[in-house]
Structure 1
Amino acid sequence: MRIATFNINGIRAAQRRGFEEWLRDREPDVVALQEVRARAAAIPPGVFGPYHLAYDEGVLAGRNGVAILTRHAPDAVRTWSGTALLRGPGEVHVEVTGLDPAPLARGLREFATQGRYLEVDLADAPITVASLYLPKGGLPEHLQKPGRMREAPDGGARYERKMRFLDGFARQLTRSRQAARATGREFLLMGDLNIAHTRHDVRNWRRSNQVEGYLPEEREWFGSILSPRTLVDVVRSRHPDTDGPYSWWSWLGQSFANDTGWRIDYHLATPALATSAGAAGTDREPSADRRISDHAAVVVDYDLDSFDPTPG
């Protein structure tokens, strides 16, 4: 089963740059999308081809939005807001409310309607798949230096917001993983986590210790959600002790040409599912003028015949 995650940085822009061709040529069975950035009615007709769409567009116009594409209609869909948009191939989207999500962990309520998290139970495999767009954040107040920042100093507000999210999401993630286990399913979290975990995940890691996304406390949090018994970083398990493969490059300058990137897009899987992974990496385009997004898709082939699902 080929499963991908892709921060497309706007579905309409991604379509113009070749998203439909990527989807057709790579033939993934499941795709988690982040930053869809469109109201459901504005999603280009036919852009998702023969796939079923589950989508949480959120309430922030032109921002965020997470989705999951599947070949078969999912058995269940869950969002933090309790509302999702569902659409089969060639159909008009249907808004579904009252999805009865699990109680949110403390600290996540402020993010519930922002279109940051959606999960589905696959109909054709014993797996719960989640798509996450984690806040980018910012610098703590003591590291903010006017004139040396792209954004205006905010007294650490964006940093504190991200840390609140991380604190609550760690608990929520445990709940989701355990809920999947209780129903005999593996759990796979995918998405843009906006954190590079180790020095192998940032090309210029020595200069990034005071950059959001590579702060020591962010990296420590990332390590805390991983273990051989809970969740495994699938791509890193297949590429140990090597730089990259990166999944994000700035649009500016020669970052892409020089492969000056960050690895911030992940497959985090329960151990049995992670062990079944074969080919795993990023679909880095051959040249800057062929980029679909500032991110690359992260694609993993899972051999579902080779793993023993978690017992219920």
Structure 2
Amino acid sequence: MTSADTAPQPDRQTETQPAPVVHANGHDPKADGALRLATVNVNGIRAAHRKGMGVWFAGRGIDILTLQEVRAPKEIVESLLEEITGQDWHVVETAAAAKGRAGVAIATLLEPQDARVGIGDPYFDDSGRWIETDLVAPDGKILTVVSAYVHSGVVDTPKQVDKYRFLDEMIRYLPELKATKDYAVVTGDLNVGHTKLDIKNWRGNTKKAGFLPEERAYFDRFFGEEIGYVDVHRRLAGDVDGPYTWWSQRGQAFDNDTGWRIDYQAATPELAAKATSAVVDRAPSYDTRFSDHAPLVVDYQF
């Protein structure tokens, strides 16, 4: 979800921001040969950095980071990540034509072999919603990583029309990606809760964008026999509520864990079989969040 589609944040923060703290699960060990991939909608990377994103990122051992709603040029992303970790990061990104909106990026310690912007429909080429890059995986095969930001949508408006048009392109393109790459994973804020397990208050949202039956039907196809991708987080978490990745800024949604699971790592079966852990790095408190989304971190063992 984007902050533009939610109510203003309630007046609950003090004037002085508290010191950032390390998020839960920030020091879980990474096995030898594992590739750690994290995805998060940062709601503006400069703002996220000011709110303590660096404390989370510095201790996480991430190899590939996909970002949504970046709202900053490639050079800013590279300099912030280098400042945080002291490492040289390769960044590919695409910004939206409208300043201050959308923008997706992939930051990686592996050298990109190629990068492509857009999902095929020229209508979305300057929307800042899809970028992919090819990397050499630890086993020498090509791993294609996508950072995607699907529209939030608003029922009965042009925004919802654009959302369905984008999802239609995903239906067309994902089989091609799966058929032509050794490994592929589509990561990011896909702005749809697939099942009742993915939204706390599902009964009250069945007629709202993000949990419409028509939207969820696309995900049935993504993760069903027709297209055959694997929802890695759900496979590893099992049939439990959540774990959620986004909470409205309204009221006590975060404190009560009234959230949505709308951030995904959708992998081809060959890559999904290598996934050994999936963790949502939920901040320990409302005041220590750097975004209204929490990072989804997955380890793939090669």
CA distance in 2, matches of 1:161, 1:135: 7
Please name the residue that 1:171 is paired with: 172
Q: Is the 8 A contact 2:40 2:67 kept in 1?
A: yes
Q: Secondary structure at the residue paired with 1:45?
A: helix
Are residue 64 (structure 1) and residue 102 (structure 2) matched? yes
AA of the residue aligned to 1:35 = E
The two structures, once aligned, show a CA RMSD in angstroms of 1.6
Q: Is contact 1:39-1:61 (8 Å) kept?
A: no
CA contact under 8 A between 1:34 and 1:192: conserved in structure 2? Answer: yes
Aligned counterpart, 1:241: 239
How far apart, in 2, do the equivalents of 1:21 and 1:118 lie?
26
Cα distance between partner residues in 1 of 2:261 and 2:117:
26
Residues 187 and 124 of structure 1: is their aligned pair in 2 closer, same or farther, counting only changes over 3 Å?
closer
Describe the SS at the equivalent of 1:15: helix
Number of aligned positions between the proteins: 260
Where does the alignment leave 5 or more consecutive residues of structure 2 unmatched? 1-34
The higher-RCO structure (CA 8 Å, 6+ apart) is 2
TM-score by length of 1: 0.80
Q: Deviations over 1:232-287 (max 9, x none)?
A: 00010012210001000011211000000000000000112112111112100100
CA distance in 2, matches of 1:269, 1:41: 29
1:191 and 2:188 correspond: yes
- How many Å apart are 1:175 and its aligned residue? 2.1
Matched residue SS, 2:186: strand
Partner residue, 1:78: 116
Residue 253 of structure 1 pairs with residue 251 of structure 2: yes
Q: Does structure 1 retain, via aligned residues, the 8 Å contact 2:74–2:91?
A: no
1:116 aligns with 2:114: no
Identity %: 43
Q: CA deviation at 1:72?
A: 2.2
* CA-CA distance at 1:60 after TM superposition: 1.7
d(CA) in 1 for partners of 2:151, 2:166: 8
Q: Which amino acid in structure 1 is aligned with residue 281 of structure 2?
A: D
Structure 2 counterpart of 1:160, one-letter code: V
Q: In structure 2, what residue type is equivalent to 1:226?
A: F
Alignment of 1:80-95 (within 5 A): 80=118
Partner of 1:15: 49
Q: Counterpart of 1:84?
A: none
Q: Extract structure 1 runs of 4+ deviating beyond 6 A.
A: none
Deviation per residue, 1:206-230 (Å, 9 max, x gap): 1110111000000011111113672
How much does 1:33 deviate?
A: 0.6
Aligned residue number for residue 230 of structure 2: 232
Where in structure 2 are the equivalents of 1:1-312 lying within 5 Å?
Answer: 1-40=35-74, 43=77, 45-48=79-82, 49=85, 50=87, 51-80=89-118, 104=120, 108-125=121-138, 126=141, 127-140=143-156, 156-180=157-181, 185-227=182-224, 230-304=228-302
Q: Partners in 2 of 1:278 and 1:124 — Cα distance?
A: 16
Give 3-state SS (helix, strand or coil) of 1:47's partner.
Answer: helix
Preserved contact between residue 95 and residue 128 of structure 2 (Cα < 8 Å): yes
Once the 2 structures are TM-superposed, how far is the Cα of residue 42 of structure 1 from its aligned partner? 5.1
Q: Tell me how far apart the structure 1 counterparts of residues 281 and 238 of structure 2 sit (CA, whole Å).
A: 18
2:26 corresponds in structure 1 to none
Gaps (5+ residues) in structure 1?
Answer: 81-101, 141-155, 305-312
Shift of 1:4: 0.7
TM-score (normalizing by structure 2): 0.82
Distance, in Å, in 2 between the alignment partners of 1:122 and 1:43 is 19
Q: Secondary structure at the match of 2:136?
A: coil
